[in-house]
Structure 1
Amino acid sequence: MSQKNETTFITEFFIVGFPGLRPEYYNLIGAIFFSIYVMIIMGNSIFIVLFVTEPSLHKPMYIIMLNLAVSDVGFCTVALPKLISRYWFNNGYLSFQLCLMQRQFIHYFGTLNSLIMMIMAIDRYLAICHPLRYPVYMTTRTMKFVTGFIWVSAMIFPGISTSLTAKMPFCGPNLIMNCFCDTVSMNSLACADVSSQNYISTSVATFVLLFPFSFIIFSYISIVVAVIKIANIQGRLKTFSTCATQLAIVSIYYIPRFFVYVTPYIPNLKLNIDQKISLTVFYTLFPAMVNPLIYCFRTKEIRQLLLKWCSRKKTFSHNNNVVSVSK
């Protein structure tokens, strides 16, 4: 019999959320997270439906945006419903298996988003720095293959640490001091020496973040150098404007993560549990909320399609009203 079956007595975990939050604010926090969930679902779903119904969007850049939108919807659907339930109905309980599954998909979608942003940065690098080669390298077929590959490969690294967590013995406290099950929260509850597992999990997480981040930094530095060489000032401003907004989201995604990870190793720089959880919620949910605005709806082609949709709907509604009156 495995170590887990012999020594694990915990059958369920409880999502605490923010430990310092007073009960009178539970309904408000639940409403805020529900609103965030609705905003993420609606914003990303609009683009998903638009992509599916408009063949003109079946291009490499929009395929990347589609994957980011689906990934954001997947992440918030895994993370938020139980958190909302915890604050509205005081039902934050998850079985051991469901907590382990949530932990896997939380890190899976985090890894996937990191890889998608890397592909997006490379796409912008090729489009701006090597415009003549871009149609050769970034074909629709190539992009479908690349995005399909990262959807599969993104499961590997979280799977390593999930398998390690599944083998740990849990026989004491069952309170997850976070808004969802994750590696750090679950490992801290194990009733055994987990230093080696923590080292492996941290190494895997660091690689998953640093590997794409290094490509992103290289891409944007190359883009800046290429843009500076552009003689047309208007062209410079337009390119800088597009890249600046994308780089802002990348910064929000990566910098707080690095800060949370390195804080325990920096003397005299400590975050209390509520501050750490607040940062985690910020860097996981805020990008998913604004990604449709930054990457999708700021694009001229998408705005034109949305206006066309609205005009069609207005025309259809007007025709129905005319038919109703005539009857």
Structure 2
Amino acid sequence: MIANFTRMKSFSILGFPGLSPQYYGPVSALLFVIYLAIAVGNTFILAFVVYERSLQKPTYLVFCHLALNDLTFGTVTLPKIISKYWFDDSVASFYGCFTQMFFVHYLGSVTSFMLLVMALDRFIAICIPLRYPVLITNNIISVLCGFAWFIPLPLMVAVVLHVLTLPFCKSNVIAQCYCDHISITSQACGEDVKIVAVTSLCVAMFCLLLPLAFILFSYISIIVVILKMSNAAGRKKTLSTCTPQIFITCLFYLPRCFVYVANTVGFSFSLDIRILLILLYSLFPPAVNPIIYCFKTQDIKKMLMKRLKKTKIGIEIKLSY
């Protein structure tokens, strides 16, 4: 078993198996643009909230934690696949691949728990507004976000260590754009593979479905409260305060649920389509979330417009001299 385990020195990232070499350049350029969008957008959100003291409120602190998570996820996953298509470098070291796998699943789990914190913030703000200033403060949100970062940590370390006990005696090709649990364990052999798969599935369901259950409860409760409001303007205003969170939550969960349900009912995708779908639901939200923060959140939108107007006036004054 030890011999089989130590025989594999590295993995090869396959990427899109059906992609013709003539498209390697455009694909790598597209992935690089996506990474720039993730890096610039999420760094801007972090810097803007830190700079604008008026935005340092519980809701925007959660946005900052999500932005940091999205920025880290993009940095962990994209550079390797970009280098594959740009520089023909598809080799990932054995432990490097496991490190990437850890961060892929850890950061995904953190996002799930962070969305739970976001839903809790909106639930208390809309369903029990009089208690909001007491129950939700910057310190309390920071502690809750800290738990969101910490809870998946030991679970994902245990998952990675469990996979490391497997002997790897099949191909070293990772049929994916980055190292994840399924693509790595599919190269393992032995009776323990099923046990590892079931254990990992249970951890994944805990990290995804437990927060999702509370999130659904929260937003259903919020919608019920909004529908009971007699004032149409009040309904619209209250709904607008939680639309960014609903958009962000849907972007994270709906594509994943679609893929899982499709697999469960026996609807099979080609390898290229499956890889593309996973890449889309992994990387589209980190790239789009900063736009949602800016254009669907009134406070950030107003502050941005205010800063842009000041900048424009400043430029006009300088040009007049």
Give yes or no for the alignment of 1:96 onto 2:87: no
Alignment check: 8 A CA contact 1:8 1:171 kept = no
Alignment check: 8 A CA contact 1:14 1:92 kept = yes
Report the Cα distance in structure 2 between the residues aligned to 1:81 and 1:317, rounded to whole angstroms.
37
Report the Cα distance in structure 2 between the residues aligned to 1:67 and 1:83, rounded to whole angstroms.
25
Residue among 128, 131, 141 paired with 1:130: 128
Q: Which amino acid aligns with 1:310?
A: L
Of stretches 255-264 and 46-55 in structure 1, the one that deviates more from structure 2 is: 255-264
Q: Which amino acid aligns with 1:78?
A: V
Partner of 2:197: 198
Q: Secondary structure at 2:11's aligned position in 1?
A: strand
Report the Cα distance in structure 2 between the residues aligned to 1:285 and 1:6, rounded to whole angstroms.
34
Q: What is the CA distance between 1:297 and its match in structure 2?
A: 3.6
Partner of 2:55: 57
RMSD: 2.0
Q: What is the CA distance between 1:290 and its match in structure 2?
A: 1.6
* Equivalent pairs, count: 320
Alignment check: 8 A CA contact 1:64 1:119 kept = yes
Report the Cα distance in structure 2 between the residues aligned to 1:192 and 1:313, rounded to whole angstroms.
64
CA deviation string 1:55-83 (max 9, x = no partner): 22211111101001100001000000111
Alignment check: 8 A CA contact 1:10 1:172 kept = no
Report the Cα distance in structure 2 between the residues aligned to 1:259 and 1:305, rounded to whole angstroms.
37
1:46-195 to 2 correspondence within 5 Å?
46-193=44-191, 194-195=193-194
Report the Cα distance in structure 1 between the residues aligned to 2:220 and 2:164, rounded to whole angstroms.
41
Q: 1:4 to 1:50 in 2, by over 3 A?
A: farther
CA deviation string 1:99-157 (max 9, x = no partner): 00000001111001111111111111111111101111001111111111211222122
Report the Cα distance in structure 1 between the residues aligned to 2:183 and 2:235, rounded to whole angstroms.
46
Q: What is the CA distance between 1:251 and its match in structure 2?
A: 2.5
Q: Which amino acid aligns with 2:9?
A: T
Q: Which amino acid aligns with 2:177?
A: C
TM-score, length basis structure 1 = 0.91
Q: Which amino acid aligns with 1:252?
A: L
Of stretches 182-191 and 297-306 in structure 1, the one that deviates more from structure 2 is: 297-306
Give yes or no for the alignment of 1:207 onto 2:206: yes
Q: 1:4 to 1:136 in 2, by over 3 A?
A: farther
Residue among 289, 298, 301 paired with 1:300: 298
Report the Cα distance in structure 2 between the residues aligned to 1:241 and 1:57, rounded to whole angstroms.
17
Give unmatched runs, 5+ long, in structure 1.
Answer: none
TM-score, length basis structure 2 = 0.93
CA deviation string 1:269-315 (max 9, x = no partner): 21221121111111111111221122344222212322333344445
Alignment check: 8 A CA contact 1:17 1:178 kept = yes
1:3-18 to 2 correspondence within 5 Å?
3-4=1-2, 7-18=5-16
Q: Secondary structure at 2:254's aligned position in 1?
A: helix
Report the Cα distance in structure 2 between the residues aligned to 1:149 and 1:290, rounded to whole angstroms.
25
Report the Cα distance in structure 2 between the residues aligned to 1:67 and 1:89, rounded to whole angstroms.
33
Q: Secondary structure at 2:7's aligned position in 1?
A: coil
Report the Cα distance in structure 1 between the residues aligned to 2:162 and 2:264, rounded to whole angstroms.
23
Q: 1:118 to 1:310 in 2, by over 3 A?
A: same
Partner of 1:218: 217
Report the Cα distance in structure 2 between the residues aligned to 1:320 and 1:4, rounded to whole angstroms.
71
Q: What is the CA distance between 1:191 and its match in structure 2?
A: 2.9
Q: What is the CA distance between 1:321 and its match in structure 2?
A: 5.9
Partner of 2:239: 240
Q: What is the CA distance between 1:215 and its match in structure 2?
A: 0.6
Give unmatched runs, 5+ long, in structure 2.
Answer: none
